[in-house]
Chains A and B, each alone.
Chain A
């Protein structure tokens, strides 16, 4: 088996280690990739996936271990050397330039020119061929990249890899920015690539996707390979989770706590309408209840949440908290009324990354701790410490910058912010995006606990399974309309998708 690997291996990584400023990020990672396969690399956040990717891309040099490329031991000195070998990397934050056209992006850094004058027609022709190879011949090469969706930008990034004659494309969580339709398309393109003999290293922590697209799988935990080259079809999910987290994860979603019949209605959304986005959204949430909004990306779920919160101004309709109407289009009014919001893009919309944990926790409340416009940072720290221990936020140091925390702990900062505020209505947009599998269960349990303590919660997620598993009641959203409202136990994922498909057909 190993001999066979040697024979057909395109890339072979053996026992590489890497230490940054005393912290060992990689402690011995193995990876063998064959031509024409989709090789998934699985690992929690902080497991060392990014360091591995950057080592392959020539950004970092390993301290020990060897990298063989087509049988030869190689040193990947810099990103250009990686491209020369035929290793292209697609980072999560796509490195395309919005202001340039597709063709200009693809030839960025290796422009074709005669005497300094760009050969635009030539570049456009080659670009069209590359897009054709990816099954997207319909996009004109002269389109400005800034006008493209995230999905199309990925296609551009892949076309650029092809233009470098890549034999191996490393994709870092490419599905994170896509909705399910776009993911299906991405998978089609990946199959197109592998059928041409190109190998793909696919990084993800969405196990369902790996099932769909992966041939073989390698797992990293704490900088070490815990498994390499497992056949996807023969490895049960339970084993993968165990390899990844080191423990059994059973029953990820906490049990629902029945909402008392006399629980007061905390949030009332009355015929809310935002022109061009959604119409006639009407529901209530009682204390202790979790209501989920299920739907595909672009269905209007996030917009509904943002409008309830006042971050967008409703065209008509109203929102009341504890029976009092909240003045529309004002976040400050919503916060005063007792609403809290955890946005979809935690880093760009939720946190001040360079500020310490405690200032992020008290971002909505710092005025309360002191008097007469003065601050009381000591009291703020104490309040943050309280939340740190209540939510098991790590590291438990209120002065640590938010940037240094994992996705799960950053999410906890946002929850802590609203707990300090005394929020009764919590709106959570994608509460587990960028949170690894182990920490997800913890976030779920936390959300359920907040509900059982009397908070009314609205959850939006692109993972339908998550919405169904977490909520008491579910609103299915399609094209800005509420297609159905039902108890979570009475609908399953195919049921939701069925409604969405029917809804958009009608």
Chain B
């Protein structure tokens, strides 16, 4: 019935009412058969972990403060993972996020920067990590898009280079954050919820809107789905790829601010192996490693699964080695399920 109407509707296409009417039947279909179905599996996994946690650790686990700990623990990796979701959806990879984050904490906590921040405003310590992250992302993007270097290699080089630079700048010393304005901001609570969690939530929501509702997101999915077809359709692929890596650098910069606040220190060892945790969370969440399909909700669930897992193990005083083995198993199972889903389709 909507098909018969459509020629008339289409002439007045920009009318919001008309487009909604045409969208409704397929929207239901999409939610049932699409990402929600996949996310359901992740929600079930998360619920199972909560049950295990409650059974094994009782009130130590099932406590609102502990839940906030889990989410706060997830928030830094979570922010990085949102950027990573875009990179992977576009068919790329960014191995440099962890060390770029480390570099950003070092630059922001330099004595000179902290002095300048005290003289002007603590916001400087927010802006500097963001600038460092974006700059590193810009370099990654330009090398990948215009230098035609494989993303894996380009960002591997940045991983090594940024870590080295952070060591050089800091002289491998831990730099304590003394700026009270900055510390007050990052350790504040809003409505009983730590600011770190608020930042994660805002980044996640912004990421969801960006991926699903904007032309930027559509270009990202299109390029990941078929780069050549996107190029020949007139999409400025190279420019977009640069922006994708800048976005990833931006999230690494935001994560650096959070890290500085949580640890009250900048050091070149911050963010070690974070890139792997982020990639694992993104892929477990259901974003295709070959690109063309990405899910922010899945990524958030993936991050929460890993952080809940860590918490359950810690509450039970279990060895971190066992925890890592479990993590490895989860990644393998998730990827196997993903492939089965893909072939069934």
Chain A residues in the interface with B (C-beta under 8 A)? 309, 311, 331-332, 334-336, 341, 343, 348-355, 359, 363-364, 366-367, 369-370, 373-379, 381-383, 385-386, 389, 396, 398-399, 417
Question: A194 CA to B54 CA in the complex, in Å?
Answer: 73
Query: Quick check: A363 and B215 within 8 Å, CB to CB?
Result: no
Q: Are B10 and A386 neighbours in the complex by a CB distance under 8 Å?
A: yes
B7 CB within 8 Å of chain A: yes
Given A359-B218, A396-B3, 17 additional A-B pairs, CB 8 A: A309-B232, A343-B232, A350-B229, A352-B229, A352-B292, A373-B214, A373-B215, A375-B214, A375-B217, A376-B14, A378-B22, A381-B22, A381-B26, A382-B19, A382-B22, A385-B3, A399-B30
Please give me the 6 A-B residue pairs with the lowest Cβ-Cβ distance, nearest first: A378-B19, A335-B234, A352-B225, A385-B6, A382-B10, A363-B233
Q: Which among A348, A353, A378 has the highest number of chain B CB atoms within 10 Å?
A: A378
Instruction: List the B side residues contacting A376 at CB < 8 Å.
Output: 14, 19
Residues of A close to B50: CB separation below 8 A? none
> How many angstroms between the C-alpha atoms of A359 and B218 in the bound complex?
9
> Using an 8 Å CB-CB cutoff, how does the interface string of B236-271 with A read, 1 for contact, 0 for none?
100000000000000000000000000000000000
A354–B225 touching, CB < 8 Å = yes
Can you list 9 contacts pairing A with B, beta carbon distance less than 8 Å?
Answer: A335-B234, A343-B229, A348-B228, A349-B226, A352-B222, A352-B225, A352-B230, A352-B292, A355-B221
Interface residue ranges of B1-54 to A (CB < 8 Å): 3, 6-7, 9-10, 13-14, 16, 18-20, 22-23, 26, 29-30
Inside 8 A of A386's CB, which chain B residues have their CB?
A: 6-7, 10
Complex: how many Å from CA A59 to CA B3?
Answer: 39
Which residues of B lie under 8 Å from residue A354 when comparing CB positions? Answer: 225, 292-293
**Closest approach, in angstroms, between the C-beta of A400 and any C-beta of chain B?**
10
B225 touches A381 (CB 8 A): no
Q: Give the CA-CA distance A331 to B237 in the complex, in Å.
A: 10
**B293 with A378: CB separation less than 8 A:** no
The answer to whether A341 and B232 have CB atoms under 8 Å apart is yes
Contacts of B231 in A (CB 8 A): 311, 331
Q: Indicate if the CB atoms of A385 and B229 lie closer than 8 Å.
A: no
**Using a CB–CB distance below 8 Å, which chain B residues touch chain A?**
3, 6-7, 9-10, 13-14, 16, 18-20, 22-23, 26, 29-30, 213-218, 221-222, 225-226, 228-236, 292-293
B236 and A385 form a contact (CB under 8 A): no
Is the pair B215, A375 in contact by a Cβ cutoff of 8 Å?
yes
B219 to chain A, nearest CB (A): 8
Please give, as numbers and ranges, the residues of chain A lying within 8 Å of B10 by CB-CB distance. 382-383, 385-386
Question: A375–B221 contact, CB under 8 A?
Answer: no
Does the CB pair A331–B22 fall under 8 Å? no
Indicate if the CB atoms of A379 and B6 lie closer than 8 Å.
no
- Known contacts A348-B226, A351-B226; A367/B215 CB under 8 A: yes
A360 nearest in chain B by CB position: B229
Q: Which residues on the B side are within 8 Å of A349 (C-beta)?
A: 226, 228-229, 232
| Contact between chains at A363 and B7 (CB < 8 Å) | no
Considering the chains assembled together, what is the distance between the CA atoms of A355 and B218 in angstroms?
11
The answer, among A331, A370, A378, A383, for a CB contact under 8 Å with B232, is: A331
Question: Considering only CB atoms, which chain A residue lies closest to B231 in the complex?
Answer: A331
- Knowing A374-B213, A378-B22 touch, does A389 contact B232 (C-beta < 8 A)? no
Q: Would A379 and B13 count as touching, CB distance under 8 A?
A: yes
Chain B residue with the shortest CB-CB distance to A367? B215
**In whole Å, how far is A377's beta carbon from the nearest beta carbon of chain B?**
7
Q: How far is the CB of B220 from chain A (nearest CB, A)?
A: 12
Contacts of A377 in B (CB 8 A): 19, 23
Most chain A beta-carbon neighbours within 10 Å: one of B20, B226, B293: B226
Chain A residues with CB under 8 A of B234: 331-332, 334-336, 364
**Which residues of the other chain, B, contact A348 by a CB distance below 8 angstroms?**
226, 228-229
Question: Are B14 and A363 touching (Cβ within 8 A)?
Answer: no
Q: Which of B215, B216, B221, B229 has its CB near the most chain A CB atoms (within 10 A)?
A: B229
Report B-chain residues with C-beta under 8 Å of the C-beta of A375: 213-215, 217-218
Residues on the A chain within 8 Å of B14, using CB:
369, 376, 379
Q: Which of A334, A352, A373 has the most CB of B within 10 A?
A: A352
The reply to whether B215 and A366 contact each other, CB–CB distance below 8 Å, is yes
A382 touches B6 (CB 8 A): yes
The residue on A at minimum CB distance from B210 is: A373
Residue of A nearest to B29 (CB): A399
Q: Which of A355, A373, A382, A385 has the most CB of B within 10 A?
A: A382
Contact of B232 with A350 in the complex, beta carbons under 8 Å: yes
In the complex the two chains form, is B226's CB within 8 Å of A382's CB?
A: no
Query: B218–A366 contact, CB under 8 A?
Result: yes
Q: Which of B13, B18, B216, B229 contacts A373 (CB 8 A)?
A: B216
Residues of chain B lying within 8 A (CB to CB) of residue A363: 222, 229-230, 233, 235
- Give chain B nearest CB distance to A442 CB in angstroms: 20
Residue of B with least CB distance to A341: B232
Residues of A within 8 A of B9 (CB): 382
Smallest CB separation, B9 vs chain A (Å):
6
Say whether A385 contacts B22, CB under 8 Å. Answer: yes
Q: Are A378 and B20 in contact (CB under 8 A)?
A: yes
A396-B13 Cα distance, complex, nearest whole Å: 18
Docked-complex contact B218 and A383, CB < 8 angstroms: no
Find chain B residues with CB under 8 A from A374 CB: 213-215
CA distance A348 to B10 in the complex (A): 30
Tell me, rounded to whole Å, the shortest Cβ–Cβ distance linking B3 to chain A: 7
Smallest Cβ-Cβ distance to A399: which chain B residue:
B26
Q: In the complex, which residues of chain B have a beta carbon less than 8 angstroms from the beta carbon of A332?
A: 234-236
In whole angstroms, how far apart are the Cα atoms of A370 and B217 in the complex?
13
Pairwise interchain contact A355-B225, C-beta atoms closer than 8 A: yes
A20 to chain B, nearest CB (A): 13
Q: What separation, in Å, do the CA atoms of A386 and B230 have in the docked complex?
A: 22
Closest A-chain residue to B20, C-beta based? A378
Residues B215 and A370 in contact, CB atoms below 8 Å apart: yes
Q: Which of A350, A369, A379 has the most CB of B within 10 A?
A: A379
The closest CB in chain B to the CB of A368 belongs to B215
A389 to chain B, nearest CB (A): 6
Contact A351 B229 (CB under 8 A): yes
How long is the Cα–Cα vector from A214 to B226 in the complex, in angstroms?
38
Separation in Å of the A252 CB from the closest CB of chain B?
Answer: 28
Chain A residues within 8 Å of B16, by CB: 378
Please measure, in the bound complex, the distance between the C-alpha atom of A349 and the C-alpha atom of B218, giving whole angstroms. Answer: 18
A499 and B218 CA atoms in complex are apart in Å by 47
